Amino acid sequence: MFANNTCFAARLAALSAGAVIALLGCGKKEPEAPAAPVLEGQVDIVAWPGYIERGDTDAAYDWVKGFEAKTACKVNVKTAGTSDEMVSLMTQGGYDLVTASGDASLRLIRGGTVQAIDIARVPSYSAVDERLREAAWHFVDGKHYGVPYQWGPNVLMYNTNAFKEAPTSWAAVFEPMKLADGKSNKGRVQAYDGAIYIADAAVYLMNKNPDLGITDPYALNEAQYAAVLEVLRKQHPLVQRYWHDANVQVQDFTTEGVVASGSWPFQANTLAANQQAIASTVPSEGATGWADTTMMSATAAHPNCAYEWMEWSISPKVQGDVAAWFGSVPAVPAACSASELLGAEGCATNGFENFSKIWFWRTPEAACASGECVPYSRWSTDYVAIMGGR
């Protein structure tokens, strides 16, 4: 009897232990997957003209409708012609994203207008060109303030009837001269309506007058800056218009007798497609350029749709199609072979290998590598005076 009771107790203990283990097993929960972000139904973007197309101009160029169908986030676009306009719009609020160039991005970051982003929410970020992933104009203090979009040079666009050969120097727009058509360039050139254009004159002057010691067109000391402003004042009588609207510049080259200007590949491509006698080049002095970043407002009302757009914007086909339309270079190298519109040679034609030759737009700051430099606030004020003939 004693032995049987012992055996029963042992069995009971074993069963109880098993039950406890079983209960513990039943009570254990697997961690739940995080809920998918709720998409807000729209995203509002400030962008350069030609950067966000939905097929209205040409049905072949449409990278918006597919995004809207996939996400149900309606894309609303406000175009801006200058970086100053972009900064103003973003500061006013009401927009989620902006395709900011380097002369705007640091101002937006320093002013707290845009927010650092979580690149884990942009899974394709690793596909971005390694030359752009941590570029100084959007990667600040170890934080990413956006997703690279497109880049390219500010080209010298010219009329092939006025220039029988491609001009080799920016002197074509900065110095008075007689052109190949027998006429002066006075009143037939344009300059950009943006203070960052001071850097174009600095690139020209750093080659024309090396004794000035200019090594960076965005970091000018007082003497260098004064010399550059003098180039721009002498240019003023030559200028037909200080342009900022790409479409207006296209019209000026078509009907107003303008024959030379710093421009974007977008205008050159548009004019060539319209059978105009227009070509473009990068002169021997080199060129300024833009590397644009899609940045998110610090007060974005539709952040989840904004993250969806940033991911979509760096998909290879979208990148290639944008490059084909704008004449730019994609921020994602895989795009070079992903777009029928861009074609196999499109990246080479648009200057993929010219990255190291371009002085990318950057906001001039007082603190610079050489000590004290003239900040952008001075650039802005002085350039307005120059455009006014002062």
Residues 6+ apart with CB under 8 A from 41: 72, 73, 74, 302, 305
More confident residue, 4 or 232: 232
Residue type, 296: M
**What is the token pair recorded at 123?**
């899974």
Distance, CA of 323 to chain centre = 12
Give residue-wise pLDDT tens across range 332-354. Answer: 999 999 999 999 999 998 989 88
Entry field: residues in the chain? 390
What is the pLDDT, as a whole number, of residue 159?
97
What is the pLDDT, as a whole number, of residue 133?
97
Which range is least confidently modeled, 3-7, 62-66, 221-225?
Answer: 3-7
Q: Residue 16 pLDDT more than 80?
A: no
Domains, the chain, with CATH or none = 42-152+290-357 (3.40.190.10), 153-288+364-387 (3.40.190.10)
Write the CA distances from 224 to 16, 28, 250, 323, integer angstroms. Answer: 88, 71, 33, 35
What is the pLDDT, as a whole number, of residue 357?
86
Please say whether the beta carbons of 111 and 91 come within 8 A: yes
Give residue-wise pLDDT tens across range 237-283. Answer: 999 999 999 999 999 999 999 999 999 988 998 999 899 999 999 99
What is the pLDDT, as a whole number, of residue 369?
83
Q: Can you tell me the mean pLDDT for 32-46? A: 88
What is the pLDDT, as a whole number, of residue 35?
74
Which among 266, 195, 341, 197 is positioned nearest to 49, based on CA atoms? 266
Predicted structure pTM score:
0.83
Q: Can you tell me the mean pLDDT for 154-177? A: 97
Give residue-wise pLDDT tens across range 211-232. Answer: 999 999 999 999 999 999 999 9
Q: Which residues of 271-304 are buried (b: 16+ CB within 10 A; e: fewer)?
A: beeeeeebbbbbbebbbbbbbbbbbbbeebebbb
Q: Residue 26 pLDDT more than 70?
A: no
Q: Residue 299 pLDDT more than 50?
A: yes
Could you report how far apart the first and last alpha carbons of the chain are, in Å?
117
Q: Can you tell me the mean pLDDT for 4-11? A: 42
What is the pLDDT, as a whole number, of residue 19?
44
Q: Residue 285 pLDDT more than 80?
A: yes
What is the pLDDT, as a whole number, of residue 7?
41
Please say whether the beta carbons of 155 and 268 come within 8 A: yes
